[in-house]
């Protein structure tokens, strides 16, 4: 995971806390086991010494484990308290938006994603967004449940038929972030990938305008063909 948004930084931190805690536990258990085996080992034919009831030892181990669990718990909460916070557009983001996030509709359909932008442009597979800008995706589906999942930017969210689910994210760096389908949505769900391309606000606006005029001229051409009788 290579986090590129304020929230995913903290999800990444949580992952590391869990990993380090697991390593500490595994190492401690093995060290204690090896110590016990060596300490109570005996010669062949000799009955080994038995460990005696040791209430104070048990209490000490219990106290250490409790303290360890408390430290992990407190660290996890302190270091990740902003993981679910909704980001807001920064100084390098799209200035025309003021406090509102840029709202884009994302439609899941078997087996691709369609994105509808505020100016009427749309795109398939690739979502283009301005960098350092809060983007609100309104997730819908035309058929079955799909899951939009771009782990570097935000936690995954479902697109459910008949419902609108929001997910807000902010890309803190220009670049391309990949996403996979995270819920089985039929035979070709594995190829239902997506890509988020974060570009500068100027590039975003230029792209959206270009995309819109490309779509319109293509539609005009089709209408012309139909009216000219070339397409039945
Ligand atoms: Cu899907």
Q: What are the tens digits of pLDDT across the range 51-75?
A: 677 788 889 989 999 999 999 999 8
C-alpha of residue 188 to centroid of ligand 1, in Å: 8
Tally Cβ neighbours within 10 Å of residue 24.
Answer: 12
Greater pLDDT, 187 or 196: 196
Query: 88-138 pLDDT, tens per residue?
Result: 888 888 877 777 889 999 999 998 999 999 999 999 999 999 999 999 999
Residue 138 and residue 127 in contact, taking contact as beta carbons nearer than 8 Å? no
C-alpha of residue 142 to centroid of ligand 1, in Å: 11
C-alpha of residue 177 to centroid of ligand 1, in Å: 18
Q: Which two tokens stand for residue 28?
A: 């401690």
C-alpha of residue 205 to centroid of ligand 1, in Å: 29
Q: Residue 100: what pLDDT?
A: 84
Give strand pairing partners of 197. 128, 176
C-alpha of residue 41 to centroid of ligand 1, in Å: 58
C-alpha span between 205 and 97 (Å, rounded): 12
C-alpha of residue 211 to centroid of ligand 1, in Å: 25
**Residue among 116, 105, 109, 170 nearest 138 (CA):** 105
Contacts of 74 by beta carbon, 8 Å cutoff, 6+ apart: none
Q: Residue 40: what pLDDT?
A: 78
* Ion ligand 1, residue ranges at CB < 5 A: 146, 181, 185, 189, 192
* DSSP per residue, 62-93: HHHHHHHHHHHHHHHHHHTTTTTPPP---TTS
Alpha-carbon torsion, ordered 25, 28, 29, 34, to 10 deg: 160
Query: 147-195 pLDDT, tens per residue?
Result: 999 989 988 899 999 999 999 999 989 999 999 888 898 888 888 999 9
Q: Residue 131: what pLDDT?
A: 93
Q: How confident is the model at residue 208 (pLDDT cuts 50, 70, 90)?
A: very high
Q: How confident is the model at residue 146 (pLDDT cuts 50, 70, 90)?
A: very high
C-alpha of residue 180 to centroid of ligand 1, in Å: 9
What is the C-alpha radius of gyration for the chain, rounded to an integer number of angstroms?
Answer: 27
C-alpha of residue 106 to centroid of ligand 1, in Å: 12
Q: Residue 114: what pLDDT?
A: 96
Q: Residue 232: what pLDDT?
A: 66
- φ/ψ of 65, rounded to 5, equals -65, -40
Tally Cβ neighbours within 10 Å of residue 196.
Answer: 24
| pLDDT exceeds 80 at position 11 | yes
């Amino acid at each position: 995971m290579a986090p590129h948004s304020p929230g995913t930084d903290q999800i990444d931190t949580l992952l590391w806390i869990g990993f380090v805690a697991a390593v500490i536990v595994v190492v401690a258990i093995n060290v204690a086991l090896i110590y016990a085996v060596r300490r109570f080992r005996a010669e062949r034919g000799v009955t080994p010494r038995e460990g005696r009831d040791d209430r104070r030892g048990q209490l000490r181990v219990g106290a250490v484990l409790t303290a360890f669990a408390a430290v992990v718990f407190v660290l996890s909460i302190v270091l990740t308290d902003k993981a679910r916070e909704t980001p807001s557009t920064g100084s390098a983001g799209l200035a025309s938006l003021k406090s509102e996030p840029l709202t884009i509709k994302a439609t899941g359909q078997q087996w691709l994603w369609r994105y509808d932008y505020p100016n009427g442009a749309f795109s398939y597979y690739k979502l283009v967004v301005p960098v350092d800008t809060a983007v609100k995706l309104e997730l819908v589906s035309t058929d079955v449940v799909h899951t939009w999942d771009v782990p570097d930017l935000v936690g995954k969210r479902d697109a459910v038929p008949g419902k609108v689910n929001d997910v807000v994210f902010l890309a803190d760096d220009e670049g391309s972030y990949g996403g996979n389908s995270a819920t089985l949505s039929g035979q070709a769900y594995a190829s239902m990938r997506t890509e988020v391309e974060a570009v500068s606000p100027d590039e975003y606006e230029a792209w959206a305008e270009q995309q819109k005029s490309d779509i319109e001229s293509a539609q005009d051409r089709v209408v012309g063909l139909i009216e000219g009788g070339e397409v039945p």
